[in-house]
Homo-oligomer: A and B are copies of this chain.
Amino acid sequence: MASTRVEKVLYRVPNDSSKKNAADPIALPPGTSSEDFKEYIKKAVEIVGEENVTVINNKDELTKEHYTDPSKAHDMFHVFDKDYFVASAVIAPRKVSEVQAIMKLCNEYGIPVWPFSVGRNVGYGGSAPRVPGSIGLDMGRNMNKVIEVNESGAYALVEPGVTYADLYAYLVEKKLDQKLWIDTPDLGGGSVLGNAIERGVGYTPYGDHFMMHCGMEVVLPSGELLRTGMGAMPDPTQPHVEGGTLDQQPGNKCWQLFNYGFGPYNDGIFTQSNLGVVTKMGIWLMVNPGGYQPYLITFPKDSDLPKVVDIIRELRLAMVLQNVPSIRHVLLDAAVLGTKASYSSSDKPLTDEEIDAIAKKLNLGRWNFYGALYGPKPIQDVMWQVVKQTFGSIEGAKFFLPEDVPDKNAVLHIRAKTLQGIPTFDELKWVDWLPNGAHLFFSPISKISGEDATLQYSITKKRVIEAGFDFIATFTIGMREMHHIVCLVFNRNDAGQKERVHKLIRQLIDDCAAHGWGEYRTHLALMDQIAETYNFNDNAQMKLNEKIKNALDPNGILAPGKNGVWPATYNKQAWRLTAESSLSR
């Protein structure tokens, strides 16, 4: 039975809306009949309970009010029609054994399943699946426990639904927040686990979330359960949970202390991938460094960027900059504080003069560097002296501590929290820069070099402005590279803007590839295009990824197309999207 179903999904079968039954979802899984779908849903209900299965059959419900509601798994910031990237149903397992059962059920019916944690992933597709009609596997609704915070080991073990805000609240409740810090990205509403396996970053010294994870529990596409690293070793010294299933048993006491275990280190293949559903993950917590001082340095001129970046590289490599600081274009800060309309009546990209005026009004520079010092006061003093001296060599640089900035809404006050791992929810305000604001992230990696940064900035800015948008961006500084995060804000109710922004980002990908710059992460619509730029030696890396994919997921049920990796049961070319794809229903 399964094999005929699998054959059917070799090519995408668009739904024929004239044949749509009232009970059918907006998008059926590819190659799946109404009857089979109904049967599948019935069996899914038997596994997870009726209250944890939602068929998505009402287009009108895909509204702004629902845009952060994972039970409506779709793309909140849609560049195609809002009902293109949409799940057929959302299933929210209550425990690991149910995740395993759903995987087996999907194999039986050849139905694709797209896991998400809490459904954020803003700018990259939200909770929507790459293949319309996939099952949205909501790992967060019921599986949202902080399983453990270990004080002496300074780590947490979390389920997929635990957000940064949840984990922080947990530490506060247990009175551990003065000793242990979390690391949060700009927004506190995302999943700690989900962000790490998408290789997101935060801003403290623990900002590289994948580097700072330790140990995973994974359900493979076959439904098999696995623990990685030291978790693969049973630990008779740990308390046994009577009557508990295997996944409910405590892991090895070193599971969250040592990543590598013995033999091949597999965790990386479960990141940005479709090889497994991560059901538990350890994350290291930073011990309070004994002192903390956030600061802002503003640089007045657009042309200051290369000087700033070259200084950043030297200081970052020397560990004088101890964390993941960021250098932000003034319009990003401006957009957090107000809409475009609040600054200007222009409907064109703002001019240099207008941007200067905004910077002046906000007492910011054209580029604004948000950093922090960590450690006891004498250590901070040494660092600060170097920071002031080096950045101070740039004409017009101004230094601010939070007490120097009276406006309590100012970005420095937000960053003062973020850079010590206190989750906030204020940053995404910049998406309201335009009415019905939505955004795409364009995120190329760059060397920390003034020359590279300037070139990347000028190329992307030129295209953004040509497309009629404002250039809004930030560089976040990693160990030896920068994530250049260009925020492409558009009005999602404006078909013309949607078309322009879509063409723009495809152009940016090509432009940057021509300079050897690749993106670290992207929106569903662009995964294939970006994967194709990583094509050294006739796509050798993709061939490896596909070999592993087909070995672990022969029916191709888990997140087909994720980051460009298609299983053999899908015709990759038929699923390829372009800016010209007709994707309305």
Residues of A within 8 A of B (CB): 152-155, 199, 210-211, 214, 220, 224-228, 230-238, 246, 252-254, 256-258, 260-273, 275, 284, 287-290, 313, 317-319, 375-376, 378-379, 381-382, 445-449, 452, 478-481, 513-522, 530-531, 533-537, 540-545, 547-548, 550-552, 563-565
Contacts and interface: CB of A to CB of B under 8 A. Distances in A.
B265 A210 contact: yes
Contacts of A481: 254, 257-258
Contacts of A154: 317, 480
Contact of A262 (B254, B520, B552): B520
Contacts of A257: 445, 447-448, 480-481
Contact of A275 (B224, B228, B264): B264
Copies in the complex: 2
Given A224-B540, A263-B531, A376-B382, 19 more contacts: A154-B480, A210-B265, A224-B537, A224-B544, A227-B537, A233-B513, A237-B516, A258-B445, A258-B480, A258-B520, A262-B272, A262-B531, A264-B269, A264-B545, A264-B563, A265-B268, A268-B268, A284-B479, A319-B375
Given A268-B265, A271-B264, A272-B262, A536 B445 contact: no
A447 B313 CA distance: 35
B378 A516 contact: no
B264 A534 contact: no
Contacts of A545: 263-264, 266
Contacts of A271: 260, 264-265
Contact of A480 (B153, B260, B375): B153
A565 B211 CA distance: 26
A317 B287 contact: yes
Contacts of A379: 378-379, 382
Contacts of A265: 199, 210, 268-269, 271-272
Given A262-B530, A382-B378, A447-B254, A155 B551 contact: no
Contacts of A227: 536-537, 540-541
Contacts of A233: 513, 516, 518, 533-536
Given A236-B516, A382-B378, A263 B544 contact: no
Nearest to A199: B260
19 contacts: A154-B317, A225-B537, A226-B540, A227-B537, A228-B541, A230-B445, A230-B518, A232-B535, A233-B533, A236-B515, A253-B516, A258-B445, A258-B520, A260-B520, A262-B521, A264-B270, A264-B275, A267-B268, A378-B378
